[in-house]
Structure formats: structure tokens, C-alpha cells
Structure 1
């Protein structure tokens, strides 16, 4: 059994077995996660931000993603949990003095060391290349290696001196189990924030309702009048009861002479100039000579 030219095929050329699982190069994976944006797949450049799950992004890429409201917008799983710019943390990074930049090997005739990173830990000096675990503090955005936080245990940031708690430490580019743990923390934090906003709204509505109740309550002038007028009502009630006992008339059939006039609050009588304003004063009445022959419907006709 042969082919043209007298060649004899081998078994692996005729029988196809199961495909081998392709293994991802670890170095290439580390470079993709620590040197490129998880959203735009471009090289990381300042300002760099991190989400609450520990992924790295370019800040301008996140802003463009949030501003894009078109219906044709592609759904990106790595940024689905980012609803606003408040959900990301701007990183306060420390530059690596050994970093030569992207123009160090412009010709391509020398070896590129992928282990050299742009940023380092300011405490221990480890390079941020993926070989070592790094963390970011959510309160201030400073980035340190996990070794530095583990060896020097403190509640104050090593770089800026701002206090932080254990829940504020976010691991950058962690494993799947660590990402799930960070996701649970994120959901609990957002739930607490919603409950706090609802409680603030309830307190604000209560503060608004309190002035309305104060307006309904009687003021000082009304309180004084309530103290003065009950005595007057008692006097009128006594006079009406006396008239009913004497003449047997009802309260509705009383004459105007039996009704007591309301006394002045200060106990003073009005002057003649004040009384002359009203039509009931004697100066406003006319004699028969002054009245005309025809009937008029005015207030001055008597």
C-alpha cells in the first residue's frame, strides 16, 4: 500500500484521534490581564481604574462605555456590573524606575523582558507584572502588594496615611473563587446603600410634615383669644337663660336690648371720631328737610 513516489503513510496520518486541548500560555495570559484594558483590550495607560471585582480598565474606555446609550451597544461581560463612574476606583500607582517605556525596543532586535512592569509596590518594591498578588484600597485608591499588607499589619495606608478597613481591600485580577467573594461584597454594599437612601428619604418626608403640623396648631394670638372669649360666652349664656325664665321666650326670639355687647379687650371706649365713621352714628342720619322726595336705596337714607 503506497502512494505516488513510493511513500508509505503512517497510522497517525490516516487515523484521526481526539483533539488535544490547547493550553494557554501563562505568560501571555498574565500580560493580557496586567498590561491591557479588560474593556477595550488596549494597553493600560494612566489614568487607570479598577472595578469592585479587581479588573483593570482605562478610565476613558469606561467613560465611553457609560456614555454609549445606542441600541446597538455590545454587551461586555467584564463591564456589565459597572453602572456609573462611582463603581470604579482610580488607582494611585507607583512608577517603576527600571521601566524604559514602550520605546525601549523600537527596532525589535533585542529581547523584551515581559517581567518588567510599569508599576511597583512602594513598600516592598515588587513589580506589578502578575507574578505577585496586588491589592487596592477602596478608600484611597493606593495599590500595594499583598505581601506588604500581610507583613505590615496596620489600619492606615502606607502611602497616604488614610485609614481603611479589611472590607476596603480589593484583590486585583484574582481567581474565580476570589472574584465571587468580591461580587458578594459588592452586592451587599450596594444593598446597604439603597437602604440608607430610603431611610434618608423617609426622614426628609418626616421633617417636611412637621412644619405642616406646626401650622395647624393654634398660634399665640389664638390662644389669647381663647382665654378671653369663653368668659363672654358665659355672660351671654347667663343673660339668655334669665330672659327665658322671665318671658318664656327662646334664644332666637330675644330682643336686641337683652343681648350683651362684646366688651373691648382693653376696657377702653372708642372716641367720637372713630364712631362717626359708621352709618349708625347720629351725625350720619338726615332730617326730613334734608331727605329728597324720591326713594333712594343708599346707606344714608333713613
Structure 2
């Protein structure tokens, strides 16, 4: 049965026991969070951005994702909550003077410190390597250690001097509980923004409706006035023939009265009366009038 040559099998080779739980190397886990992009798994390089949940990304990788969300990516779940550029913030990081880059141990003859971080806290000087808790401000994007924010309690940024509130502080690469709290905070902020937009749209609609109603009233009034005017004109036209004839007679009588009154009035001078065709000088006899002649007579 395979025990030739005097070999003695051990118990774990014959009896199958429970599988050992694989333990993740803490140093490798910290390096994956603080030195590599959460989306592309490439090394972090400037410009570096962070989301509302405190994850670190390369800006170009997130922009590529936003431009083409249909492409298949291995870590698409890490950026599912990012809808646009407004959901990310570019970080204002402070370089570590002791960081020598990737080629610091090319020969392999010196000790390589795995926990050496690329960035540090500008107030306390702690390295951003995962061992210390770091936060960033959503207002300006400056990054500080949690110890610096607790020791120096101010409402002004230590680096750029911009004002901020306690709600603007976001923990970088926090625990599961901290990430859940940040997710709830993000959802509340989005709901508030939606309510504000709806209120603004309602306010604009209410502001536009009264002007429209005024215009409608004016148009209705003009239409009514036009209808009334048309009806009155139609009633005048469609009135009895006697009334129309009487109106014509009154008009002719008034016109004749005015014509006769000019020649018969004693106040007017003869020179003024001679200006009108009703004056005796303007009248001609039959001898003085000429026969009617056409301009183009057709004589055949």
C-alpha cells in the first residue's frame, strides 16, 4: 500500500483533518491599501484622489472608468459608488524626505524598510504607511494624521488655512465599521442634495407660473375686447335699413349744411370763400366747358 522500504506514514497523511485558515500577511495587506490603487492595482502616483469612503486611487484610472463604465475591470466594486468627478477629491499630500523611490535597493546590499511611506503628516511627521490613522479634508483635500487633528484642535486647515467642519473629515482606509458609517454619511448627503434640487426646481416653477398667468389674463382680455368690438360692428352693420338710411341722411345733411354755411356766413371774406369750389367764380357755363375727348381715339 505504498509503505515499501520501511516507510512509516504519519497521521496527517492518512487522516484528513480540517483545513487550516490561510492568514493574510499584514504587511502585504497594508502595502496593497496604502501603496497601490484600489481600482487598477497599480502603484500610486500623483495625482492621487480619494472617494467618500476613504479609498485611494490614481486619478487617470478613475477617469478611464468614468469614461467607459462598460469595460470589464477586476475591481469594479471598489468604484461602484463613484458616479462622477464630484464624488472624488484630489489629495494634497506631503512628500516624505526619507523616501528614495523604487530603486533605492537595486544592488540588494542594504536593508529595505517595507513600512517606509511615500508621504507623511505635515504637522506631526508620521509616515502614511498604514500603521497610523490618517484623514483628509473634503474642503481642500489636505491629508493629516488623526493624532495631529486631535492634538491641535482648530477649525482651520493646518496646511492651507481653509476653514472646515468636523463633518468634512474622512478617514483613509478605515475599518469595516468606519466604512459603513462613511457610506451612510454619503447617502445622507446625496439625499439632501436631491431635496435641494427638487426645492429649487419647484421654486423656479412657482416663479414662472404667475407671470404666465398674467400673460394669459392679458391675452384673454384682448380676445374678449376684440370679440365685443366685432359684435358691436356686426350689430351696426346688421341693423335695420331705416336706421342706416337715416344715418346716411344725417351725414349728407350735415355735410351740405357745412358747405352752405361757408358761403352764406357773413363773417367770412370773399377771398376766403373763393378758395372753395362752391363759390360762384368756380362755376362755368356750357360754353366755357370743353367737350370730352379721349387720349387714344380709335378712328377707323
TM superposition score normalised by structure 1: 0.71
**Aligned-partner SS, 2:89:** strand
Residue 208 in 1 paired to residue 208 in 2?
A: yes
Which residue of the partner structure matches residue 104 of structure 1? 104
Q: Unpaired segments of 5 or more residues in structure 2?
A: 226-231, 233-237, 252-276, 278-300
Please state how far the C-alpha of 1:26 moved relative to its aligned partner: 1.0
Q: Distance in 2 between matches of 1:96 and 1:71?
A: 36
Residue 255 in 1 paired to residue 275 in 2?
A: no
Please state how far the C-alpha of 1:13 moved relative to its aligned partner: 2.3
Aligned 8 A contact 2:137 2:168 in 1? yes
Which residue of the partner structure matches residue 82 of structure 2? 82
Corresponding pairs, count:
237
Aligned 8 A contact 1:134 1:172 in 2? yes
Moved over 6 A (4+): 258-261
Please state how far the C-alpha of 1:195 moved relative to its aligned partner: 1.1
Q: Distance in 2 between matches of 1:155 and 1:59?
A: 28
Q: Unpaired segments of 5 or more residues in structure 1?
A: 227-232, 234-250, 262-281, 283-302
**Aligned-partner SS, 2:193:** helix
After the TM superposition, which residues 64-213 of structure 1 pair with which residues of structure 2 at under 5 Å, given as runs? 64-70=64-70, 76-213=76-213
RMSD: 3.1
Q: Find the structure with the greater CA-based Rg.
A: 2
Please state how far the C-alpha of 1:4 moved relative to its aligned partner: 2.2
TM superposition score normalised by structure 2: 0.71
**Aligned-partner SS, 1:57:** strand
Deviation per CA, 1:111-161, whole angstroms, max 9, x where unpaired?
220111010000111000000000000111000000111111111111111
Q: Distance in 1 between matches of 2:116 and 2:186?
A: 32
Q: Go from structure 1 to structure 2 and tell me whether the alpha carbon gap of 1:101 and 1:84 turns closer, same or farther (over 3 Å shift).
A: same
Q: Distance in 2 between matches of 1:252 and 1:111?
A: 117
Q: Distance in 2 between matches of 1:2 and 1:191?
A: 69
Q: Return the structure number with greater helix share.
A: 2
**Aligned-partner SS, 1:255:** helix
